[in-house]
Structure 1
Amino acid sequence: MRAPTSGEFYERWATVYDRVARLPGLRSWRGGAVDALDLAPGDTVVEMGVGTGANVPELRERVGPGGRVVGLDITAEMLRTARRHPERTGAGVDYLRADATRPPVRRVDAVLGAFVAGIFPDPAAAVDAWCDCVVPGGRVALLNFQRSDAVLGAPLNLAFEGFVRLSSPGTRLSGGSHADAFEARVAAARRRLTERTVDRRYETFGGGYLGLVSGTVPDDTG
């Protein structure tokens, strides 16, 4: 039996994903990711793999009425679910159905990738595409789940394997675990962001189970 692609998986589970995305504890973590972008009124920000738009209200608040928020996702049902929430739609908010590894946007002020780096077969190439569409001085931020080094983290680290199996289809390596494959992809995305940016920052949330890496795209013409 053929395993579902990531797009097929999220098409089926968009409603459940939306409920999880709205859990109260996630709001502060999402706020931290938005803070890392250093947005200003009037900016244009793109969220790659926007899902059901849980980050959109925070992004829109930062860019103000003169700014623009673009939510990009390959899954039609995710975007339909996002548009059902009044607080995630309206003036200055656009949703595009497109492949986040080949974003149809150029010269934006910031890019956010929340919980998506681990699902791409070539995450470094995806980060390259994101950096390429950001203007010099703009920022890119990656927020991802990860296993924690906390002393009391062992039981939750075991649960992490099951979580990744459910939420990130297609990330299993031959002879390895879903969690190992997922974290290898996240690490590749973070390395490429480190190579492509300056003024880098790394933060953790939720007892170390979320990691946020961000950086500024430099002006290479100088």
Structure 2
Amino acid sequence: MSDDPTQVREFFGMRAAGWDARFPGDGPAYAAAVADLGLRPGDAVLDAGCGTGRALPPLREAVGPTGTVIGADLTPEMLEEAVRAGRDKAAALILADVARLPLPDGALDAVFGAGLISHLAEPAGDLRELARVVRPGGHLALFHPIGRAALAARHGRRITDDDLRAEPNLRPMLAGSGWELLRYVDEDDRYLALAVRRRTQ
């Protein structure tokens, strides 16, 4: 699939209505990945490319009633499904591209991104934008409920060396965008890259 924002919007727009029904058992994997972010009560967190908002309830639970949870997506139909599912009660939803976030510098303690990196038009620049809105020492979790090999098999493909999610590719891209990779997990039932916002760009 293309990573052009217009095509990404069209792709997900057409699939929004049945999205959650396609992946009914993903909830525990999302909750486990949110736990790995190490959020504390009162923290501010962004779900970048939140889709139907499956991560929003565990994010709200992690930061508590005094925290801030924002869900951003560039597909209106996905945000409509999040509202239909009642997940807007857990977060403020905004229609926005992660390449241009309407947030001030250092406003967040963390960013959560499920299935995000494959759909970024300019991965290095977009990761830099995510770094801009996170305070130094804050965290980024790039997550998918299944690993790279399982995901490729689902789509009838094989993993290639140029996959951005592969550790040898992801680590230097994160480093060049203001992040340091702390932990990398790529197993059949889980993909997680956890990074910290460096104190100097």
DSSP-derived class of the 2:183 partner: strand
Whether the 8 Å CA contact 2:171–2:180 is kept in 1: the answer is no
Whether the 8 Å CA contact 2:174–2:181 is kept in 1: the answer is no
In the alignment, the residues of structure 2 paired with residue 199 and residue 49 of structure 1 have an alpha-carbon distance, to the nearest angstrom, of 20
Aligned-pair CA distance for 1:96: 0.4
DSSP-derived class of the 1:185 partner: coil
TM-score, length-normalised on structure 1? Answer: 0.75
Segments of 5+ residues of structure 1 without an aligned counterpart are: 149-155, 163-176
Segments of 5+ residues of structure 2 without an aligned counterpart are: none
Whether the 8 Å CA contact 1:161–1:179 is kept in 2: the answer is no
Aligned-pair CA distance for 1:20: 2.5
- Counterparts in 2 of 1:65-80, with a 5 A limit? 65-80=65-80
Whether the 8 Å CA contact 2:174–2:180 is kept in 1: the answer is no
Aligned to 1:147: 148
1:160 to 113, 132, 154: 154
Q: Is 1:104–2:105 an aligned residue pair?
A: no
In the alignment, the residues of structure 1 paired with residue 17 and residue 158 of structure 2 have an alpha-carbon distance, to the nearest angstrom, of 23
In the alignment, the residues of structure 2 paired with residue 72 and residue 135 of structure 1 have an alpha-carbon distance, to the nearest angstrom, of 18
Aligned to 1:28: 28
In the alignment, the residues of structure 2 paired with residue 8 and residue 200 of structure 1 have an alpha-carbon distance, to the nearest angstrom, of 34
TM-score, length-normalised on structure 2? Answer: 0.83
CA shift digits 1:20-40 (9 cap, x unpaired): 34x12x223212221221101
Instruction: Percent identity, please.
Output: 31
Aligned-pair CA distance for 1:62: 0.3
Matching residue's letter, 1:161: H
In the alignment, the residues of structure 1 paired with residue 74 and residue 84 of structure 2 have an alpha-carbon distance, to the nearest angstrom, of 17
| Aligned alpha-carbon RMSD (Å) | 2.6
CA 1:199/1:159 → structure 2, altered by over 3 Å: closer, same or farther? closer
Report how many aligned residue pairs link the two structures: 191
CA 1:157/1:100 → structure 2, altered by over 3 Å: closer, same or farther? closer
Aligned to 2:188: 208
Whether the 8 Å CA contact 1:200–1:215 is kept in 2: the answer is yes
CA shift digits 1:169-220 (9 cap, x unpaired): xxxxxxxx68649x6233455542245334711224xx43532011211222
Matching residue's letter, 1:13: R
DSSP-derived class of the 1:203 partner: strand
CA 1:74/1:126 → structure 2, altered by over 3 Å: closer, same or farther? same
DSSP-derived class of the 2:40 partner: coil
In the alignment, the residues of structure 1 paired with residue 159 and residue 172 of structure 2 have an alpha-carbon distance, to the nearest angstrom, of 18
CA 1:190/1:31 → structure 2, altered by over 3 Å: closer, same or farther? farther
Whether the 8 Å CA contact 2:111–2:134 is kept in 1: the answer is yes
